[in-house]
């Protein structure tokens, strides 16, 4: 892990009408880091993730991703990131090979390179026998791994994972995280949102969002020490739950 | 550009691998053409007829009054010469022209016999046969009364029936334009709206939007295959109806294809519009079926003549584009008319196209919730 910054967010605000989804966020993510983005549903995680990936433009504040400004150059950001969403993002009626070919092509990779990397990938995943099968026929765990491999296939600087392990059994989740580690070791920054608190423990650093704000940001160890908790889950419950159970008050414009 | 074509190719793969899609695109059109070759019956109310009264005497006035007061017909106008007949029929406003020969009244009284013609628009065979049957019946009734009042047995109005545009009154001609319209609506509006919402449901749309592909490329990539297949489909229907029913294309094939492309473009943009307002495939299917397919079948004048509809429905049907397209292709294929006779409908279709493209762009949410 080096100290060069790949994501830099300063005073980010995103409003939908009168509702403030992201209230003055500021944080940095470093190259090769696994950055966990936690928060209850509706805390503003997804909005922040969409701004970082160029899908939404911020209302105000500065967002720099992979060296590009999210307001001015969202198209350039799109070329340097990978994305995997909570829903399953491969086409079930195309084979593994065809899916890879499609996404590789969309990211402008030359055919020869796509073919070469496909072979390497299948070798690594022991996937060769499945290569020409339709995605719909594959077990969920394999699909998940493949979806992740496709998201980093074009060697992006950053890969965004939006709740990537939803509905997967613990063993597959474990294997999935091994892939994430390996990817981070290659220097690809991993930005992951998750519900699972045990997964948060695997991250290098985590941020916890509540009501549109970042209420905590540190290493899992650091947070546990600060809140005198045994696990990240305890930290999360202490910070996020009490407010979350009450009806939403109107979001203040500034604190 | 290379990115884009890879994406188009993928869309073709989706289509060719899904046998249900293949059935909708290729089997249903053929089946419908063959099925609809047999007629659905309709009845007659207030059909507009024009009169060419070359005699202009008391008896022709009585007879035309009798025809118009029957409730089946309504007089639209008086024509002045034979040349007007074709022109008026092509305007699509009237269903038939009734012609009284010169000196009709004096011939009837003097010679006991006079001739009138009922010239119907054979491009709508159901309507044409109804019109001529009803008109002939009214004339027969007129004859009976004439015999009673005059006491003479040898007095007779002879109606001659003639069909314009489709002299042998082949009824399946009428259905070909209707089926083309239905299929184009089905394939374009329904299938595009399904294919786009499917990407939303699978979550692949999100991945595509995050990718360097531009939204317009995504939409075009999804639409181009359907555009190509729809044209192939229309040609398939035309060829089939030519071989099976011997239906010729009387007008310009180029004009016909151009109008087809316009209608396909319009249906596609309506399909895109539907997909921008629906979140799930079910929703898209529902909107496309109820909003597009039902009006195409029920309100386009394809099965149920527009003139028989209550006033409200008539206005309601004006909101749906298929009705105009049916007029356009019927005119071009069966009557062989040129662009001058269909420019109004073309303009309306163009308006629908532009509006739905505009609405889709406005609705196209890069934000997917």
pLDDT digits (tens, 9 = 90+) for B284-327: 888 888 888 888 878 777 766 666 667 777 778 888 888 888 88
Q: B47-164 in CATH: which number?
A: 3.40.1710.10
* Residue B4 · residue B216 · CB < 8 Å: no
Task: Give me the residues of B, 212-231, that contact A with CB < 8 A.
Answer: 212-214
Poorest-pLDDT segment among B117-131, B171-185, B270-284, B301-315:
B301-315
Place of tokens 């360097």: B212
Of the candidates B154, B170, B72, B81, the residue with the CA atom closest to the CA atom of residue B114: B154
Q: Is the pLDDT of residue A108 over 70?
A: yes
**Distance from the A46 Cα atom to the nearest Cα atom in chain B, whole angstroms:** 10
Averaged pLDDT for residues B262-291: 88
Instruction: Identify all chain A residues contacting B207, using CB atoms and an 8 Å cutoff.
Output: 83-85, 89, 103, 151
Query: CB under 8 Å to B197, separation ≥6 — which residues?
Result: B275, B278, B279, B280, B281, B283, B284
Residue A36 in 3-state DSSP? strand
A88:B211 CB<8 A: no
pLDDT given at position B350: 93
Neighbours of B344 (CB within 10 A): 12
Instruction: Identify all chain A residues contacting B366, using CB atoms and an 8 Å cutoff.
Output: 55-56
Poorest-pLDDT segment among A103-112, A160-169, A246-255, B28-37:
A246-255
Secondary structure (H, E, C), B227-248: HHHHHHHHHHHHHHHHHHHCCC
pLDDT given at position A251: 47
CB-based contact, B14 to chain A, within 8 Å: yes
Task: Give me the residues of B, 180-209, that contact A with CB < 8 A.
Answer: 201-204, 206-209
For residue range A188-225, what is the model confidence (pLDDT) as tens digits?
Answer: 999 998 878 888 888 999 998 888 888 889 998 898 88
Residue of A nearest to B209 (CA): A55
Give the rounded percent of residues in chain B with a pLDDT score beyond 70.
Answer: 90
Of the candidates A47, A10, A44, the residue with the CA atom closest to the CA atom of residue A27: A10
Average per-residue pLDDT for chain B: 82
Q: How far apart are CA B46 and CA B49, in angstroms?
A: 9
Instruction: Identify all chain B residues contacting A108, using CB atoms and an 8 Å cutoff.
Output: 2-3, 212
Instruction: Decide the pairing of beta strands A205-210 and A213-218.
Output: antiparallel
Bridge partner list, A214: A209
Dihedrals φ, ψ of B332, to 5°?
Answer: -70, -45
What is the distance, to the nearest Å, from the Cα of residue B53 to the centroid of all Cα atoms in its chain?
31
Bridge partner list, B69: none
Every domain of chain B and the residues it spans? 47-164, 170-368
For residue range A4-47, what is the model confidence (pLDDT) as tens digits?
Answer: 889 999 999 998 888 888 889 999 999 999 999 988 877 888 88
Rg, Å, chain B Cα set? 25
For residue range B61-84, what is the model confidence (pLDDT) as tens digits?
Answer: 888 888 888 878 888 888 888 888
CB-based burial of residue B254 (10 Å sphere; 0-12 exposed, 13-18 middle, 19+ buried)?
exposed
* Residue B221 · residue B11 · CB < 8 Å: yes
Place of tokens 């967010």: A9
Q: How far apart are CA B72 and CA B119, in angstroms?
A: 16
Averaged pLDDT for residues B332-349: 86
**Which of B14, B203, B212 lies at the smallest CB-CB distance from A106?**
B212
**Which of A75, A87, A91 lies at the smallest CB-CB distance from B212?**
A75
**Distance from the B231 Cα atom to the nearest Cα atom in chain A, whole angstroms:** 25
Of the candidates B228, B190, B188, B244, the residue with the CA atom closest to the CA atom of residue B33: B244
Of the candidates B91, B87, B266, B213, the residue with the CA atom closest to the CA atom of residue A78: B213
Q: How many residues does chain B have?
A: 369
Give the rounded percent of residues in chain A with a pLDDT score beyond 70.
Answer: 92
CB-based contact, B10 to chain A, within 8 Å: yes
Instruction: Identify all chain B residues contacting A107, using CB atoms and an 8 Å cutoff.
Output: 3, 211-212
């Amino acid at each position: 892990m080096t100290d060069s910054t790949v994501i830099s967010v300063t005073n980010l605000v995103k409003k939908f009408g009168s509702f403030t989804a992201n209230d003055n966020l500021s944080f940095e993510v470093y190259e090769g880091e696994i950055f966990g983005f936690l928060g209850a549903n509706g805390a503003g995680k997804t909005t922040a993730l969409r701004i970082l990936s160029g899908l939404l433009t911020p209302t105000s504040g500065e967002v720099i991703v992979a060296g590009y400004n999210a307001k001015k150059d969202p198209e350039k950001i799109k070329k340097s990131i990978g994305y995997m969403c909570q829903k399953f993002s491969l086409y079930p009626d195309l084979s593994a090979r065809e899916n890879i070919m499609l996404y590789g092509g969309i990211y402008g990779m030359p055919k020869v390179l796509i073919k070469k990397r496909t072979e390497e990938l299948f070798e690594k995943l022991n996937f060769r026998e499945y290569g020409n099968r339709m995605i719909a026929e594959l077990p969920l765990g394999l699909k998940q791994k493949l979806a992740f491999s496709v998201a980093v296939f074009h060697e992006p600087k950053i890969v965004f994972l939006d709740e990537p392990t939803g509905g997967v059994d613990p063993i597959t989740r474990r294997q999935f995280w091994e892939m994430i580690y390996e990817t981070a070791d290659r220097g690809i920054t991993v930005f992951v949102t998750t519900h699972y608190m045990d997964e948060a423990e695997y991250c290098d650093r985590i941020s916890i969002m509540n009501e549109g704000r970042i209420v905590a940001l540190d290493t899992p160890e650091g947070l546990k020490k600060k809140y005198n908790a045994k696990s990240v889950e305890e930290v999360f419950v202490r910070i996020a739950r009490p407010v979350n159970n009450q009806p939403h008050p109107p979001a203040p414009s500034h604190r | 550009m290379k990115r884009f074509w890879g994406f188009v190719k993928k869309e073709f793969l989706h289509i060719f691998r899904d046998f249900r899609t293949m059935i909708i695109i290729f089997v249903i059109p053929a089946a419908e053409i063959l099925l609809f070759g047999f007629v659905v019956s309709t009845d007659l109310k207030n059909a507009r007829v024009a009169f060419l009264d070359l005699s202009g005497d008391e008896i022709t006035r009585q007879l035309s009054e009798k025809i118009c007061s029957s409730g089946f017909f309504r007089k639209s106008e008086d024509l002045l010469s034979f040349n007007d007949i074709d022109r008026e029929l092509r305007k699509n406003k009237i269903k038939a022209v009734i012609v009284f020969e010169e000196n009709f009244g004096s011939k009837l009284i003097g010679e006991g016999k006079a001739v009138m013609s009922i010239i119907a628009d054979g491009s709508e065979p159901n309507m044409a046969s109804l019109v001529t049957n009803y008109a002939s019946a009214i004339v027969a009734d007129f004859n009976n009364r004439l015999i009673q009042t005059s006491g003479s047995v040898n007095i007779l109005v002879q109606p001659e029936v003639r069909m314009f545009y489709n002299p042998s009154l082949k009824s399946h001609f009428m259905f070909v334009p209707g089926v083309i319209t239905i299929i184009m609506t089905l394939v374009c509006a329904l299938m595009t709206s399904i294919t786009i919402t499917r990407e939303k449901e699978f979550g692949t749309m999100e991945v595509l939007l995050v990718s360097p592909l531009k939204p317009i490329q995504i939409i075009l990539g999804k639409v181009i295959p359907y555009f190509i297949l729809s044209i192939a489909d229309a040609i398939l229907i035309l060829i089939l109806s030519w071989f099976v029913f011997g239906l010729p294309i009387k007008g310009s094939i180029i004009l016909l294809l151009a109008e087809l492309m316009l209608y396909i473009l319009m249906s596609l943009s309506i399909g895109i519009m539907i997909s921008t307002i629906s979140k799930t495939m079910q929703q898209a299917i529902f909107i496309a079926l109820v909003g597009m397919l039902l009006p195409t079948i029920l309100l386009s004048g394809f099965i149920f003549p527009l003139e028989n509809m209550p006033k409200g429905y008539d206005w309601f049907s004006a909101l749906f584009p298929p009705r105009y397209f049916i007029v356009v292709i019927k005119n071009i294929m069966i009557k062989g008319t040129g662009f001058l006779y269909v420019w109004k409908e073309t303009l309306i279709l163009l308006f629908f196209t532009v509006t739905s493209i505009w609405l889709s762009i406005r609705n196209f949410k890069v934000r997917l919730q």
